[in-house]
């Protein structure tokens, strides 16, 4: 799995967590899922920035 694949998978997971948060039955569940989505999206962005910088895989 290359860095681009990692980015795409993380972005997909973040989107899914955000969708799940909209269906949460409690505020705590919604907040937990939104927080997880934000964290995963931030990680995806870091990978994306690395890929776009042209540094390659390490």
List per-residue pLDDT tens for the chain, 58 residues long.
999 999 999 999 999 999 999 999 999 999 999 999 999 999 999 999 999 998 655 5
12: Cβ contacts below 8 Å, ≥ 6 apart:
none
pLDDT at position 45: 97
Predicted TM-score (pTM) of this structure: 0.85
| Domain locations in the chain as residue ranges | 3-53
Contacts 24+ apart (CB under 8 A), 2-9: 2/57, 3/47, 3/50, 3/51, 3/56, 3/57, 4/51, 6/47, 7/44, 7/47, 7/48, 7/51
pLDDT at position 55: 67
pLDDT at position 54: 81
């Amino acid at each position: 799995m290359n860095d681009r694949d990692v980015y795409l998978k993380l972005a997909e997971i973040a989107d899914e967590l955000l969708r799940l948060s909209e269906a949460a039955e409690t505020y705590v569940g919604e907040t937990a899922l939104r927080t997880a989505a934000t964290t995963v999206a931030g990680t995806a962005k870091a990978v994306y920035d690395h890929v776009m910088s042209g540094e390659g895989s390490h």
